[in-house]
A = this chain, B = another copy of it.
Amino acid sequence: MYESLFAHIRKFVPLSKEEEEILHSTLRYKKVRKKEFLLKEKEVCTANHFVLKGCFRMYFTQENGVEQIIQFAIENWWITDFQSLDWQQPSHYYIQAVETSEIAILDRRVTAEVCDLIPKLDRYFRLIVQRAFAASQQNLLFIYTFSGEERYHHFNEAFPEFVQRVPQYMVASYLGFTPEFVSKIKSRRTGDGKPPIS
């Protein structure tokens, strides 16, 4: 059930059969319907989530109701709001399934315990959070450096399979296009499949 997670962990640190069993007994498995939420604004986040299958988006809503996506997660990515998870504060974000998905849930209340039993998991999580942090900083660099058009082309080249499976207006939102432009893409989903570029 969690084989893809164990394989992902083994890319970073060794993991014995016994440790797999400990981890297996700690995780919770969940099927998630399309558009179902793992977290909503003002809720306190209680877990980290590993995507076994499917796709999620993390976003916040601006005062004018516009949804701004700040992160996606597909297979082999973890997704959570660390600010809410670590400080047990109400979240600013929504985490929602873009497709029907399957996840492994690591609850906050058992995280320290399982990392005490398998200290290499701290190493694993350290390395993948470093990766996520670097991606977030690079996102800032892209926002400040490139125009909407340049970002769109870069994203298409870097993640062609991703662009195929996520609605274009979500990619546009993630790339920081103007809400007007995102709406424009959203409203012409029956078009030629290629969005006009801002």
Please report A residues at the B interface, Cβ cutoff 8 Å.
Answer: 60, 62-63, 68, 70-71, 81-83, 85-86, 92, 115, 119-120, 122-123, 125-127, 129-134, 136-141, 143-145, 176
- Tell me the number of copies of this protein: 2
CA distance A137 to B54 in the complex (A): 23
Beta-carbon contact of A86 and B131 below 8 Å? yes
Chain B residue at smallest Cβ distance from A66: B144
Most buried by B among A62, A86, A141, A176: A141
Known contacts A126-B126, A129-B129, A145 near B62 by CB under 8 Å:
yes
Beta-carbon contact of B176 and A144 below 8 Å? yes
Within 8 Å CB of A71, what residues of B? 137
Q: Could you list 16 A-B pairs, sorted by A, with CB under 8 Å?
A: A62-B144, A68-B141, A70-B141, A70-B144, A82-B131, A82-B133, A86-B134, A122-B126, A125-B126, A126-B126, A129-B130, A132-B133, A133-B136, A140-B140, A143-B143, A144-B176
